[in-house]
Amino acid sequence: MAVPGTFSSILFPVHRSGWPFVAVFFLVAVLLGWLWQPLFWLGLLATAWCLYFFRDPLRVTPDDPALIVSPADGVVVTTSERIPPPELELGQRPLPCVGIFMNVFDVHVNRTPAVGVVAHRAYHAGKFLNASFDKSSDENERQSFKIHTASGREIGLVQIAGLVARRIIAFVEEGANLAAGERVGLIRFGSRCDVYLPEGVEPLVLVGQRTLAGETVLADLFGNQPKRQGRAN
């Protein structure tokens, strides 16, 4: 695997889904500039933010089928057990759930948490509550993936729309074979991802911890690492 160099880490790639928005933002900036020149610079600033929002940086994912990695950049807001959404078809018993909140400045390209096959994908219409609230997992618009992992376990990945998010885009279909850290979708513009782990698997992240999609380890399916403790410094 190629290691990202200095220039590629500064000149971040932009996901193709973002270019139409960048073009619209820039066109609006030009039109506003005809009305009043300072508005052009404000529009240009908004265009730069749009480029930043749709960035899609390279990530280095651990090559270990036992590890579950983060699907999103953001902050861990829960590691407690929850009953999975019914469309995930993971049963009605509570499962360990890691919830990650993405604000409008985080990378919004989401990645698969594990090596496996997309056994089921479902869309659920809903509200657009603040995605940092736990009730958003039940009430908001969402898209769910059930993944049969290479180790024979099942995990759930749920993309949840947020307060200003209005579109969830999937990149993969049912039956797709996924490598860990592979891109599976994108949410516009502020949202959350929940990962439902198999029963008995302990999360290895803490509430308040920042995660990187495709890199931060959320859990070990085989329990080779103890549950972590930590503190804010």
Say how many residues make up the chain.
233
Closest CA to 172 of 163, 162, 159, 160: 159
- Encode 178-215: b = buried (16+ Cβ within 10 Å), e = exposed: bebbebbbbbbbbbbbbbbbbeebebbbeeebebbbbe
Q: Which of 70, 136, 137, 191 is catalytic?
A: 191
Distance CA 16, CA 42 (A): 24
Distance CA 128, CA 113 (A): 24
Query: Are the C-beta atoms of 45 and 198 separated by less than 8 Å?
Result: no
> Which one-letter amino acid corresponds to residue 129?
L
Q: Taken in order 39, 40, 46, 48, is the CA torsion positive or negative?
A: negative
Q: Taken in order 152, 155, 157, 158, is the CA torsion positive or negative?
A: positive
Q: Is-catalytic flag, 191?
A: yes
- The set of catalytic residues is 191
